A and B are shown apart, each in its own frame.
Chain A
Amino acid sequence: MELAEKPHLRYQKKNSYTKMAGPKSSFLNLILALGSVTLLSAFSLGYVYEWTLEPIATAKREKQLRAINAVVEFDNDPLAEAFSVLDGRRVEDDPNALVFYPAKKAGNIESYAVKTYSDQGYSGRIEVMVGLKLDGMIREVQILTHRETPGLGSKISAPEFLEQFVNKYPDKFNLKVTKDGGQVDGISGATISSRAVGEAVQVAYDQLQIIKENE
């Protein structure tokens, strides 16, 4: 092949290494090279980590606030007053606990935004934010994270599916899908995902009842 025909190879050709130019591969050189490369990387990563620590925390906080804002109304800081609940008991930092965000108006708790979940999704955990009034009425339901099939199970995030929960009382409105004898209209082709959302809402409601009894 002529060089003129493959101009993009010219640089490789001109230098024409069979091996890379570099220091001899002696034991000391290997240690020095790898050691300094990793040390420099570690320093620069540490710097970037420090630098982005605050923006990342702010972004996370804003995302949570947005989700809470979508399901309840409040004039307090629900993030600061949040607490975790597992099986009706308050716990600290348990990944399987539900998180309750008290939504206050003029100092009185009016409702809770509850971060709940179901592990019965089609592909793993579905995290749901539910706004519950103190009397148990569902204000609003939002899907936080899911890994359901795009185009099928992912429709659980659609307003058409979620608005059927709004203003319902779980003690009268059966949160099972119609297929299981409940009142939730499942998405066709995504019964498993729909069932999981109903279950997550039910768990949030049940935990709220236990908490109210204990207080």
Chain B
Amino acid sequence: MSSRSIITQLTKGISRENPVFVLLLGLCPVLGVTSTAINGLGMGLATTFVLIMSNIVISLIKHLIPSKVRIPSFIVVIASFVTVVDLLMAGYLPALHEQLGLFIPLIVVNCIVLGRAESFASRNDLFPAFLDGVSMGIGFTYALVILGGIRELLGSYSLFGLKILEGDGLLVFVLAPGAFIALGFIIAFFEWRKSIATKAKKAA
């Protein structure tokens, strides 16, 4: 693998194939946990761990699994890692676990994880699959932190728990509708940037 393709692999999750803003995958936890930036970060890191580990294991066992049972096998692998994260977090990060508790088991059904297993890890070798997990994980985490940061800033005038402005903030951004509104604007921004890039390419 050349160093250039390693970089391409690593950056694809951040913008070109960002799981949240471009692929629009796994929106349930995205909308559910992002009421604060810290929650977004915790959920993003937990998902990143599951993505990397399941990508590694699935790319290792891909030749041993008959294609008819690949989906159940992948789900078992993913569910095991999610349970591991759940147990470790309950034991060592109880405060965060209390905040995210409800959403951790939902990582199992997050379409990003199964999506990457099916479309990438099961067709590639260990190293690219690992990079894919890192890249998608970073992209997912950064999307959650941005969304959580915007909602926390507008909804309670604070960021990462630090008060920025006095006052109570706009309640709607703390509630679920605020997640949809904020996500809509971010996606619009990404699309707008993409259209500018395409125009520039055409003009050149």
Q: Which residues of A contact B (CB under 8 A)?
A: 7-8, 10-12, 15, 17, 19-26, 29-30, 33-34, 37-38, 41, 44-45, 48-49, 52, 54-56, 58-60, 62-63, 149-152
User: Given the complex, which residues of A lie within 8 Å of B76, measured CB to CB?
Assistant: 34, 37-38, 41
Q: Do A22 and B84 form a contact, CB below 8 Å, given A55-B92, A56-B90?
A: no
Q: Which residues of A contact B72 (CB under 8 A)?
A: 34
Q: Is B182 interfacial (CB-CB < 8 Å)?
A: no
Assess whether B87 is in contact with A52, with CB atoms less than 8 Å apart. yes
Q: Classify the secondary structure of B's interface with A.
A: helix
Chain B residues close to A by CB (< 8 Å)? 5, 8-9, 12, 16-17, 35, 61-70, 72-73, 76-77, 79-80, 83-84, 87-88, 90-92, 94, 119-120, 122-124, 128, 155-156, 168-169, 171, 174-175
CA distance A20 to B63 in the complex (A): 8
Which of B35, B68, B83 neighbours the largest number of chain A CB atoms within 10 Å of its CB?
B68
A151 with B64, Cβ < 8 A, contacts A8-B9, A22-B70 known: no
Q: Can you pick out 16 interface pairs between chain A and chain B where the beta carbons lie within 8 Å of each other?
A: A7-B8, A11-B124, A15-B124, A17-B123, A20-B123, A25-B68, A33-B65, A34-B73, A37-B65, A37-B77, A45-B80, A45-B83, A45-B84, A48-B87, A59-B94, A151-B156
Given contact pairs A23-B64, A24-B66, a sample of 5 additional A-B residue pairs in the complex whose CB atoms are under 8 Å apart: A11-B123, A12-B124, A22-B63, A33-B66, A34-B76
Residues of B within 8 A of A52 (CB): 87-88, 90-92
Which residues in A have their C-beta under 8 angstroms from that of B120?
A: 11-12
Which of A15, A52, A152 is packed against the most chain B CB atoms within 10 Å? Answer: A52
Smallest CB separation, B95 vs chain A (Å): 9
Residues of A within 8 A of B155 (CB): 151
| B125 to A, closest residue via Cβ | A11
Q: Are A25 and B91 in contact (CB under 8 A)?
A: no
B171: A residues at CB distance < 8 A? 151-152
Whether B64 lies near A33 (C-beta < 8 A) is yes
